[in-house]
Structure 1
């Protein structure tokens, strides 16, 4: 049995807007959160110990991170070198240059010849000798149109047609690697891709127009004992009722509020030909919390918001407060009081949303096919407009004068709910 740790989408240096500067270190606290989660993964790899570590891609937000962030990443992975644990670093979409060529943020590990480190920036089969036997790993990095196609081949084609052409190009290449496998050795496919059954998170907007979607059926092969994926931030197994498991471990930290409800972690695998087992290991990451309040119908909007904050109070969470109110309620809200109430949070944002009075539901008295004389209709309307109370009498008086000059002004008007 070979023990493998599968981790992906570290994105070291992301989400800094949700943090603050730590006065003791001078570093952003969210960067420290990400490093802490990565350290927990490496700690587990060493303490287990595992025989192999698979990184599924996206080390940083882009291919040229600042030196201090590169150093933080290297410091943690260097511990695997010291422990003599073989490691494969797969190139994801965020690890590539904007042109889609080369793993700029990871290629340094190949250039330096880091012992037992492999950079997976091409479709290739790697035979790795571990402490408990040999394992075959096919690396499939993030592929763009330019990786497999020429410009003349894609000219004038729709996105769907390009996607099909890419799959036609990829299939024989992957098939060639599979046919050269040793059928007696355990095999892993390590790939950074968007699978068609995946439930998406923050990455849904990160690769638009830069890659293509691969059918899960493309990955479910009897030659594979485990399919280790990267790119999608939500942990999931895309083949829950069969073998092999096709697993996204997800990202190791929450990048933004789109991942508020997601568990974060890594996967431990017990790899054995025809009998592979795996488990998701959650990480104790910083919570994200959204507090939504609608005070449009409240007499004391400020207290309503404060009560909602108190009920959902979660120390050290990254918090966003969103509340709806009418314009005439603005002077009843004290921003400093709300800020003080949110002081428990690691960081917070406050977003008020003004709701137009015109957005209120129609009054029953003015509903569809309700017949009222014009003055009664106007009075009903003004009685339900708090912001017009001071001028309602003048408006009624002026309306009376206007209608007094019209023939049959006492005739009833029919109000319809039709937008026309």
Structure 2
């Protein structure tokens, strides 16, 4: 059986205020064309279909068009909700769409009920595990702890139990939206930390032949049977060196996996440039970045006069400008955002406590802060789902 594994479309998202709608449409054209030319048996979409819970109408229309085209091809599509999606909204009309071969899996309670596909070697059970917010689904799965490993492990136990009751030789594929230990994140992914623990071990997917993962935007092979497709487009400059693609996976008669990458269209290259303003403007080595989306970081000891205007003349598509003077941390002009880069909300709060009272938070106070952030995050997810 052959299928395309993709994820993290983030329909409706922009890139530094530049609309990506046309680029997303080009990707979906490419996806449909690939499904046709490669004669795939299914398309798997591992979450974050939309960029936010209430997407703009243009994104909804693009999604609707893509589903119609896949249905017309007669290619079954299995799709789960991610942490950016509103599971309830994405799942509306799911049972009716299933009759057309579009299978939406957004309800955690039904994650053990597979979409059954078949080829000349028998059945393939495709299980869709939507994004599982630990605080919201702990009771559903009777998990011992409200963390990602506990709830995802409990969901997989249900999958394995269902699979054990099926005919011998049934192959199994699972879709999930999570952060697996050993994988590499980037700046454009929303933090899904819960209880200070967000990563789950790859072993949680033991017992199935292929795990099609979403959430991380870089295409990655955690193991032969556990892979991220990554996002089809770059959504931050941290993805400058990503090769954007989808996985074309062939599942053999005994569940053996053969996977190859199919590159997706690139709307415009990314370039991260760093140096003094005069060097960025005059160095001929930068000529190749003229047509790229550019993020420039100036290292001049003092802020130049109107640097954005000067840079725009050479790099018409520059989108971001930052300052990191060569005198480093001693520079009072260094931005607050630069000083906080790479720190979690919880770390920032702990730093604030230490700064205000001159004493770091003790372990009990850190637990209180962690619980508070988890409660706010859970409430935000619940509100987005309403």
Scaled to the shorter chain, the TM-score interval is 0.7 to 0.9
| In structure 2, C-alpha distance between the alignment counterparts of 1:110 and 1:46, rounded to whole Å | 25
Kindly indicate whether residue 237 of structure 2 is the aligned counterpart of residue 251 of structure 1: no
How much has 1:238 moved relative to structure 2?
0.9
How much has 1:71 moved relative to structure 2?
0.5
Label 1:357 to 1:105 Cα distance change in 2 as closer, same or farther (>3 A): closer
| In structure 2, C-alpha distance between the alignment counterparts of 1:125 and 1:250, rounded to whole Å | 26
Aligned to 2:363: none
Aligned to 2:35: 45
| In structure 1, C-alpha distance between the alignment counterparts of 2:93 and 2:290, rounded to whole Å | 40
Label 1:68 to 1:359 Cα distance change in 2 as closer, same or farther (>3 A): closer
5+ residue gaps, structure 1: 20-27, 97-101, 296-300, 361-420
| In structure 1, C-alpha distance between the alignment counterparts of 2:156 and 2:307, rounded to whole Å | 61
Asked whether the equivalents of residues 136 and 187 of structure 1 are also in contact (C-alpha less than 8 Å), the reply is yes
Aligned to 1:349: 320
| In structure 2, C-alpha distance between the alignment counterparts of 1:358 and 1:54, rounded to whole Å | 47
Question: Of the two, which has the highest radius of gyration?
Answer: 1
- Give aligned pairs, total: 323
Asked whether the equivalents of residues 140 and 192 of structure 1 are also in contact (C-alpha less than 8 Å), the reply is yes
| In structure 2, C-alpha distance between the alignment counterparts of 1:65 and 1:357, rounded to whole Å | 40
Deviates more, 1:106-115 or 1:193-202: 106-115
Give the secondary-structure state (helix, strand or coil) at the position aligned to 1:58: coil
Give the secondary-structure state (helix, strand or coil) at the position aligned to 1:37: helix
Cα deviation digits, residues 20-62 of structure 1 (max 9, x gap): xxxxxxxx3x221122122211210022221111111110111
Aligned to 1:307: 282
| In structure 1, C-alpha distance between the alignment counterparts of 2:64 and 2:123, rounded to whole Å | 26
Give the secondary-structure state (helix, strand or coil) at the position aligned to 1:95: coil
Label 1:288 to 1:309 Cα distance change in 2 as closer, same or farther (>3 A): farther
How much has 1:111 moved relative to structure 2?
5.0
Give the secondary-structure state (helix, strand or coil) at the position aligned to 2:114: strand
1:66-105 equivalence runs, <5 A: 66-96=56-86, 102-105=87-90
| In structure 2, C-alpha distance between the alignment counterparts of 1:225 and 1:358, rounded to whole Å | 50
Aligned to 2:114: 126
5+ residue gaps, structure 2: 332-386
Asked whether the equivalents of residues 309 and 341 of structure 1 are also in contact (C-alpha less than 8 Å), the reply is no
1:235 aligned to which of 219, 238, 242: 219
| In structure 1, C-alpha distance between the alignment counterparts of 2:198 and 2:3, rounded to whole Å | 28
The root-mean-square deviation of aligned C-alpha atoms, in Å, is: 3.0
How much has 1:161 moved relative to structure 2?
7.1
| In structure 2, C-alpha distance between the alignment counterparts of 1:72 and 1:248, rounded to whole Å | 24
Give the secondary-structure state (helix, strand or coil) at the position aligned to 2:212: strand
Aligned to 2:193: 208
| In structure 1, C-alpha distance between the alignment counterparts of 2:307 and 2:115, rounded to whole Å | 64
| In structure 2, C-alpha distance between the alignment counterparts of 1:202 and 1:126, rounded to whole Å | 33
Asked whether the equivalents of residues 291 and 312 of structure 1 are also in contact (C-alpha less than 8 Å), the reply is no
Label 1:335 to 1:70 Cα distance change in 2 as closer, same or farther (>3 A): closer
Aligned to 2:203: 217
Label 1:127 to 1:205 Cα distance change in 2 as closer, same or farther (>3 A): closer
| In structure 2, C-alpha distance between the alignment counterparts of 1:6 and 1:357, rounded to whole Å | 44
Aligned to 1:139: 128
| In structure 1, C-alpha distance between the alignment counterparts of 2:149 and 2:292, rounded to whole Å | 44
How much has 1:82 moved relative to structure 2?
0.6
Aligned to 2:182: 197
How much has 1:351 moved relative to structure 2?
2.8
Asked whether the equivalents of residues 196 and 213 of structure 1 are also in contact (C-alpha less than 8 Å), the reply is yes
TM, length-normalised to structure 2: 0.74
| In structure 2, C-alpha distance between the alignment counterparts of 1:146 and 1:186, rounded to whole Å | 32
| In structure 2, C-alpha distance between the alignment counterparts of 1:6 and 1:217, rounded to whole Å | 20
1:354-393 equivalence runs, <5 A: 354-356=325-327
| In structure 1, C-alpha distance between the alignment counterparts of 2:153 and 2:170, rounded to whole Å | 28
Asked whether the equivalents of residues 189 and 217 of structure 2 are also in contact (C-alpha less than 8 Å), the reply is no
Aligned to 2:304: 330
How much has 1:89 moved relative to structure 2?
1.2
TM, length-normalised to structure 1: 0.69
Asked whether the equivalents of residues 236 and 247 of structure 1 are also in contact (C-alpha less than 8 Å), the reply is yes
Label 1:354 to 1:57 Cα distance change in 2 as closer, same or farther (>3 A): same
2:296 aligned to which of 321, 326, 332: 321
How much has 1:354 moved relative to structure 2?
4.2
Cα deviation digits, residues 121-161 of structure 1 (max 9, x gap): 2312324345655321122111112443249x99xx9xx87
1:142-161 equivalence runs, <5 A: 142-150=131-139
